[in-house]
């Protein structure tokens, strides 16, 4: 049993669909965004990379082979790096069949299409700049794309968008370009290091396994670049009991492959 004082909490963390709802639909596709919307999930997370000809697309791995049929379609092009293929080539790929035949023909979304779909569902987006060291200048390009698609207006910037990365350098660059957009650093810095991150990150987003209540309190005690307490968004939690335990530690959001399971557990506890 959990002591009463340990259970005290003032809010229920937000459940964020990690790459959509990848337990029910292929990750990082429009079908996965749709599934999240069907389940009433308000926030989705995605991963953004760049094609050889400079298009921003949504894909987690830096190679195409795990989540598409690239290996069959382009047999001579191992290791199928995202950065070695044009958008036209990538759009020929099937990004659904590997997951389930019901999703055959699903495409790798461009960031533009993805943003349109998230908007259509009135969802919110935790956008990860994936492996930015492979894509020099991607931060500036991302700003242009967000502007072009209407995602830099006050409504989106105010409450609907967070840009995150494992790369502190990339996040610092992005923050320098658009200080108004909320950002998240993926990692678990030591308490003494938090003020340095707080210069360019509004959130500190750690793997859930090392999270403790005292570390979360220390993060909340530091103010981010917008003068508000740093937030904690932890990943990747698919078990309801673990989500409830993290809620009791005070995390602000929980990134999950099964966000509907997490949301239900949080609501019931």
Instruction: Give the interface with Ca ion as residue ranges (CB under 5 A).
Output: 47, 128
Instruction: Quote the tokens at residue 44.
Output: 């989705």
Per CB under 6 A, the list member of 255, 261, 262, 266 interacting with ligand G3P is 255
Q: Provide, rounded to whole angstroms, the least separation between the CB of residue 38 and ligand G3P.
A: 21
Supply angle C-alpha 239, 115, 184, rounded to 5: 55
Contact status: 45 vs ligand G3P (CB under 6 A): yes
47 binding ligand G3P? (CB under 6 A): yes
Cα gap 157→154, rounded to integer Å: 5
Nearer to ligand G3P, 30 or 254 (CB): 254
For ligand G3P, which is the closer residue by CB, 103 or 166? 166
Dist CA 183 CA 40 (whole Å): 24
x-marked contacts with ligand G3P along 71-110 as a string, rule CB under 6 A: ----------------------------------------
Which CB, 128 or 202, lies closer to Ca ion?
Answer: 128
Is residue 27 a contact residue for ligand G3P (CB under 6 A)? no
Q: Roughly how many angstroms between the first and final C-alpha of the chain, as a whole number?
A: 13
> In this structure, what is the dihedral angle of CA atoms 254, 259, 260, 265, given to the nearest 10 degrees?
-30
CA distances from 219 to 36, 54, 56, 225, 233 (A): 29, 37, 32, 13, 11
Tell me which residue has its CB nearest to ligand G3P: 235
Cβ proximity to ligand G3P, 240 vs 259, nearer residue: 259
Member of 21, 24, 186, 201 binding ligand G3P (CB under 6 A): 186
Tally of helices (H runs) and strands (E runs) in the chain: 12, 9
What is the closest distance, in whole angstroms, from the C-beta atom of residue 132 to ligand G3P in the complex?
Answer: 12
Tokens of 251: 């995390």
């Amino acid at each position: 049993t959990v002591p009463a004082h340990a259970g005290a909490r003032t809010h229920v963390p937000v459940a964020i669909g990690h790459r959509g709802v990848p337990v029910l639909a292929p990750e990082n596709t429009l079908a996965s965004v749709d599934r999240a919307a069907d389940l009433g999930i308000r926030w989705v997370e995605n991963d953004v990379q760049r094609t050889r000809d400079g298009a921003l697309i949504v894909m987690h791995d830096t190679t195409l082979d795990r989540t598409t049929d690239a290996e069959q379609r382009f047999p001579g092009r191992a290791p199928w790096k995202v950065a070695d293929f044009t958008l036209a080539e990538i759009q020929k790929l099937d990004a659904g069949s590997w997951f389930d035949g019901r999703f055959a023909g699903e495409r790798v979304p461009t960031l533009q299409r993805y943003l349109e779909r998230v908007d259509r569902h009135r969802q919110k987006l935790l956008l990860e700049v994936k492996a930015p060291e492979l894509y020099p200048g991607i931060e500036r390009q991302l700003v242009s794309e967000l502007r072009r698609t209407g995602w830099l207006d006050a409504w989106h910037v105010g409450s609907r968008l967070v840009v995150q990365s494992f790369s502190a350098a990339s996040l610092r660059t992005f923050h320098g370009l658009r200080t108004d957009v909320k950002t998240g650093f993926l990692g678990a810095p030591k308490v003494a290091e938090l003020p340095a991150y707080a210069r360019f990150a509004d959130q500190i987003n750690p793997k859930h396994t090392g999270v403790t209540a005292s570390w979360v309190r220390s993060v909340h005690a530091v103010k981010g670049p917008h003068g508000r307490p740093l937030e904690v968004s932890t990943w990747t939690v698919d078990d309801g009991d673990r989500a409830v335990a993290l809620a009791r530690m005070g995390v602000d959001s929980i990134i999950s492959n099964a966000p509907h399971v997490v949301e239900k557990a949080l609501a019931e506890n």
